Amino acid sequence: MKSETKTCQNCKSSFVIEPEDFNFYEKIKIPPPTWCPECRMIRRLVWRNEHSLFKRSNSAPGKKETLISVYHPEENIITYDRETWWGDSWDPCNYGQDYDLSRPFFEQFRELLERVPHMPLFDSKSINSRFCNVVVEQKNCYLTSAAWRSEDCMYCNRLWHGKFTHDSYTSFATEFCYENVYCSDSSRLFFSRESEGCLDSYFLYDCRNCSNCILCTNLRHKSYCIENVQYSKEEYEIKKKSMALDTRSGIKRARKRFEQLWRDAFHKHLKLTNNVNVVGDQVSNSRNCFSIFDFRDEAENVKYACWGAHGLKDAYDVGPGCGDGCELNYEGISVGVQNSQIFLSATVWYSREIFYSFMMNNCSHCFGCAQMNGKQYCILNKQYTKVEYEKMVPKIIEHMKNLPYTDKQDKIYKFGEFFPSELSPFAYNETVAQDYFPLDRDMAAAKGFRWREYVPGKYNITILGKDLPDSISEVSDSILNEVIECEITKKPFQITEQELSFYRRFDLPLPSIHPDERHNQRLKLRNPMILRKRQCYFGDKEVFTTYLPESEGGPKKVVCAEHYNKEVY
């Protein structure tokens, strides 16, 4: 079979399907895509709200408390509290529908979403973790999303095996860490980027196995360095003290300097560690992958995937949220953690052989189902026998080909297309689509996406962010009662007890900006998940990179692997 160039049904740009791609689609018996990889990713992202949380009512019988949920109160969705959802008092099959051969599948699926009770926040097997979403096996965490197997962490997004890690983005196995982006296997590391195996340090970029260093870049196996200059332990301590890193003003100064140092540093064109035949960014210990981002350990034969760790085999178009012992998954978002053969679905854990389903835990052989735990052989939440199910599914697939769904912009969704974004229970700007492909209201409308403005609740602000004490040593316990106004967005926020003791323990100043805005600022420190070609800084060759061109604010010294190894190691 030869490669084929197709025109994307959505954006009309051309994209290529390679012979090995055709083999994969043949293996899973799903027709090749009609949308380009980027449009496919955005379409999936619109089905994942990670961190826009709302108050809404609890519809579980006999329960009155208000819930915190990913669903906006205006959204036509029913939510049960977590305890009821996981309990035995209700059965999602009671909301089952007969499959109607006179109407498109997606129409019927949206109706199911409006009838069946939903889990308010997506979570499986977590303990004592408030306001955490799309998380699995979390313990004692708070306001953390897209995370698994972490303990005592707060305000993180994309976290794996974190402990006492706060305000970090895409972190693997870090402890006692704060304000890091893409850091791993580190302890007491603060305000750092893309560093690994580091200890007791601040403002590091691309450092490995360093300890007691501040404002360093491209450094290996060093201690007591500031701005890459070696000091004695005594000199280092004196200099560190003069930087006043326990104050917000000291951190602000250091941040500014760090930005300049980052700009002047060497940047490897793609951050790939110990891979074989991988084109992607921020990937380690993997083989035969293309267009894969933010994946740690053991991805194999994977294309168009992002955010995951520890084992993902033979998968296309998955994530954020993939990996942890998964195989043969296609077009899925939040389909990590011991899944196999999950197709065209959103938020599925510990399951196999699932098509077109939304929020499934420990299920198998389900088609077009939602909000189920421990079920098998169901279609639109209706229970069938194995024999009936196996007879019905090919009929439905045929029906989806013959009577496809057409969206408001006349795009056609036959069998093999992911859920149309206009049927998502989330507005574009509530989802991670806004994190990775930001739009404004008008741009979103032009592309047919829903949009919802943020409406602030009623709060009595008791202190302005700018008036918070500069040093953590000046903060008294009464701060726990204050409602702080974010210096940037004016959104109110509070400091929790667990958080305050963390700042005190590590001599870190109080943040003066809202956790959402802190997340937004960290997001700006990552590269877009788009592979582009660029000339190595030394001019020897053209390489793939995710860095923006210099004209769009990218750094100057983006280098090929050979030059990186020469300059940095």
Write out the residues near Zn ion by the rule CB under 5 A.
8, 10-11, 36, 39, 536, 538, 540, 560, 563
Beta carbon nearer to Zn ion, 215 or 558: 558
137/206 with CB nearer Zn ion: 206
Task: With beta carbons less than 8 A apart as the criterion, state whether 326 and 336 touch.
Answer: yes
| Residue 20 C-beta: closest distance to Zn ion, Å | 21
Least distance in Å: CB of 42 to Zn ion? Answer: 8
**Distance between CA atoms of residues 201 and 280, nearest Å:** 28
Q: Which is nearer to Zn ion, 11 or 93 (CB)?
A: 11
Decide if 131 contacts 119 (C-beta within 8 A). Answer: no
Asked if the peptide bond before residue 320 counts as cis, ω within 30 degrees of 0, the response is: yes
Give the Å distances, CA to CA, from 307 to 32, 47, 159, 342: 23, 16, 10, 17
DSSP per-residue letters across 145-192: EEEES-BS-BS-EEEES-EEEES-EEEES-EEEES-EEEES-EEEES-
C-beta of 368 vs 420, nearer to Zn ion: 420
Nearer to Zn ion, 266 or 502 (CB): 266
Q: Could you tell me the two tokens for 257?
A: 């300097």
- Of 39 and 396, nearer to Zn ion (C-beta) is 39
Contact assessment for residue 269 and residue 257, using Cβ atoms and an 8 Å cutoff: no
**Please, what is the minimum distance in Å from the beta carbon of residue 11 to Zn ion?**
3
- Minimum Å gap between C-beta 228 and Zn ion is 22
Closest residue by Cα to residue 300 from 292, 316, 312, 285: 312
Tokens of 184: 């791993």
> Which residues are within 8 A (CB) of 430 and not within 5 positions of it... i.e. 6 or more apart?
49, 52, 70, 72, 452
Residue 11: other Cβ atoms inside 10 A: 14
8 versus 568: smaller Cβ distance to Zn ion: 8
Residue number with CB closer to Zn ion (380 or 543): 543
Which of 13, 76 has the CB closer to Zn ion?
Answer: 13
* Shortest Å, Cβ 48 to Zn ion: 19
Smallest separation (angstroms) from Zn ion to the CB of 37 = 8
Q: Give helix then strand counts, H and E, for the chain.
A: 12, 43
**Residues in contact with 505: Cβ distance below 8 Å, sequence separation at least 6, in sequence order:** none
Which uninterrupted H or E stretch holds 112? helix 105-115
Q: What CA–CA distance (Å, rounded) separates 16 from 385?
A: 41
Query: 33 or 332: whose CB is closer to Zn ion?
Result: 33
CB 538 to Zn ion: min, Å: 4
Phi first, then psi, for residue 286 (nearest 5°) are: -135, 170
Question: Using the 8-state DSSP alphabet, how is residue 127 labeled?
Answer: B
Cα gap 537→163, rounded to integer Å: 38
Closest contact distance (angstroms) between CB of 544 and Zn ion is 13
Q: Given the complex with Zn ion, which of 459 and 538 has the nearer CB atom?
A: 538
- DSSP 8-state assignment for residue 486: P
Closest Cα partner for 113 from 69, 76, 81?
76
Question: Is residue 179 left, alpha or beta, with left meaning phi > 0 and alpha meaning psi from -120 to 50?
Answer: left
- CB 174 → Zn ion: shortest distance, Å? 31
How is residue 83 written in tokens?
């305890």
Q: How far is the CB of 560 from Zn ion (least distance, A)?
A: 3
Residues in contact with 420: Cβ distance below 8 Å, sequence separation at least 6, in sequence order: 43, 106, 405, 407, 411, 413
The H or E element that residue 370 is part of is strand 370-373
Q: How far is the CB of 255 from Zn ion (least distance, A)?
A: 30
Of the pair 408, 524, the CB lying nearest Zn ion is at 408
**Distance from C-alpha of 128 to C-alpha of 259, rounded to nearest angstrom:** 37
Alpha-carbon distance of 493 to 486, in angstroms, equals 7
Q: Rounded to the nearest whole angstrom, what is the least distance from the CB of residue 24 to Zn ion in the complex?
A: 19
Residues in Cβ contact with 565 at an 8 Å cutoff, skipping those fewer than 6 apart: none
In angstroms, give the least distance from the CB of 269 to Zn ion: 9
Nearer to Zn ion, 261 or 536 (CB): 536
Q: By the 8 A CB rule, do 265 and 279 touch?
A: no
